[in-house]
Amino acid sequence: MLLVLALGGALWGVGTLAGAPRRQRVAMLAVLYLGVLAAHLALPAGHPLRAATGGGAGEWLAVGVVAALVLAYASLIARLKRRARRPETTMQTQATFSTTELERYARHIVLREIGGPGQKKLKQARVLVIGAGGLGAPALQYLAACGVGTIGVIDDDVVDNANLQRQVIHRDADIGKPKVFSAEAAMKAQNPHVTVRPYQRRLDAAIAEELFADYDIILDGTDNFDTRYLSNRVAVALKKPLVSGALSQWEGQVSVFDPAHGAPCYECIFPTAPAPGLAPSCAEAGVVGPLPGVLGAMMAVETVKLITGAGAPLWGEMLIYDGLYGETRKIALKRRADCPVCGA
């Protein structure tokens, strides 16, 4: 076998020195391999040629299988590299992206479900995040990092020391600063190529419709039911997808409410707000620090899917995550014909 390997190495070296294309050199090795394999299959045992090439037919077949796997893997890697650099992708993105941005989003561009066109959609997208707290903080960070072009954030609160245990977009030096401006600074520091629009005020009916109309997707990361119901009503009226999250203690949930795509709205599932005390806030019930990061990141993933058309968003489904026991489950959600917001 060593003789054959040496001969193969010599053929490869001579071909390289002669300037033969890689494809021709691989073809030469393939001819050599097939000749050796044919000799072992056709010649009788003990034949001098079989003895000179060593091994048996089984061993040479195994060598061929390994070589085929290696070549297939190398071909796949080369194809992915060509796809990342292919002219059509470059043409689609050069008008929009700088070289720095292309390098930054390279892991997106090589994803089959996103690619250059999907990254362009992300840059052209406009997403509004309601709340820069537990759920809003990680969602904002990831939306900025992955290149969503315009991100609005509305919140009337200021950074408090008690927020820093879970709202990781804010820092100790930000205590007392409006959350929207603290979040804006962190997002711009993370990715200067995105536009951040901070609104330091509470969302109310007077501004909701005009504000929502300027965005493609709405993320609701609030912790009060008045704002959730208002966001749902306006999003349904404007046919905007509403990515909604909620959490408490060790558990959280994420869904995409979007009647325009056949999914129920928030009020279909929660027709009335719970009685006082039945749904305590994080301040009352507590929450483990990393949990908002898990759920907020899930909300960002759903947003990326909605923008790029990748995969299956959580339309008509609710994903429930139990951090205490490391469990996830999905439940189906259905529209209510008598829903006052989206029903008939």
Span 85-90, average pLDDT: 45
52-79 pLDDT, tens digit per residue, is 666 676 776 777 777 778 777 777 776 6
Per-residue pLDDT of 108-160, as tens digits, reads 999 999 999 999 999 999 999 999 999 999 999 999 999 999 999 999 999 99
Dihedral (Cα; 102, 106, 109, 114), 10-degree rounding: -110
Q: What is the phi/psi pair of residue 264, to 5°? A: -70, 165
DSSP of 189-204: HH-TTSEEEEE-S---
**Residues 92-107: tens digit of each pLDDT:** 444 478 899 999 999 9
In this prediction, residue 89 has a pLDDT band, given cuts at 50, 70 and 90, of very low
Tell me how far apart the alpha carbons of residues 190 and 36 are, in angstroms, rounded to a whole number.
58
> Residue 168's closest CA among 121, 136, 123?
136
pLDDT per residue over 183-224, tens digit each?
A: 999 999 999 999 999 999 999 999 999 999 999 999 999 988
How crowded is residue 186: how many other Cβ atoms within 10 Å of its Cβ?
Answer: 20
pTM of the predicted model over 0.85: no
Domains and CATH numbers, the chain: 2-85 (no CATH), 125-332 (3.40.50.720)
Q: What is the pLDDT of residue 59?
A: 72
Give per-residue pLDDT as tens, 33-51: 677 667 667 766 667 666 6
pLDDT recorded at residue 75: 75
